[in-house]
Structure 1
Amino acid sequence: MKHKFDFSTTHNQFYIVDKEADYDTGADSFWTDEAHISRMPLGYGVVGVGTECYGPVRGELTVLSEANTEYDLSNYNHIVEGNLELNSGILQITSCPNNDIELELNMTPGHYAIRVYSSILKCG
């Protein structure tokens, strides 16, 4: 099932979160040097997604029952993977810094693999 999103965010980031998680994305231990390079900091109940610049973010979230093994790498500038523990059963995509809810899905609680495919990584 695909869910499209289109919103504005700042600070070159947005978040995929467990609605009930208590997390701090402003901590130095979250956006480490490694997280900036990978464009994906991980915390308990939160996955950060690094964008190229401030402003619009367009994409889609696809929930799969198994890993996608058929994709064309030439379509993307950057691919990164991480994990999210979803205890509440409610997944949200939120903007930065206001944490506005841009997408909310009811899902089965559990551990999820997250793969972010990025394209058109340029400002302007």
Structure 2
Amino acid sequence: GAGHFVKMVHNGIEYGMMAAIAEGLGILEAADAGTEDRQADAETAPLDDPRAYQYGFDIEAITELWRRGSVINSWLIDLTANALAEDPQLSHFAGRVSYSGMGRWTVKAAVDVGVPAHVITASLLERFASRDNFD
């Protein structure tokens, strides 16, 4: 019914938010790339200006800041900050994101009604990719 439809779309939005948080933290984590002697290969391009990437951020402290005084503070940021406080390397997480079907249904609904859902679709595809890495 209507409540299930609202929950389905809610989960799709949550997928996109989780992906954005992970991407942002990944960029911050890699912001020290100019401090290393990097070789260009198929996976990593050379930096145009290594001096622009000399930052060694404390990701745990940043997530704690975000959860206390930021426009992106949320329950998802709380979970992230707590996980990083417990294990800054997140070594007890597998890197696989479970999938219940809600994201697919949300994307299908967007296609059915002709509403662009780029972020939700991309985050769903990333969930599929994470699963493929472990199956």
TM-score by structure 1 length?
Answer: 0.23
Q: Higher helix fraction: Structure 1 or Structure 2?
A: 2
> If you compute each CA radius of gyration, which structure gives the higher value, 1 or 2?
2
TM-score by structure 2 length?
Answer: 0.22
Which structure is higher in RCO with an 8 Å CA cutoff and minimum separation 6?
Answer: 1
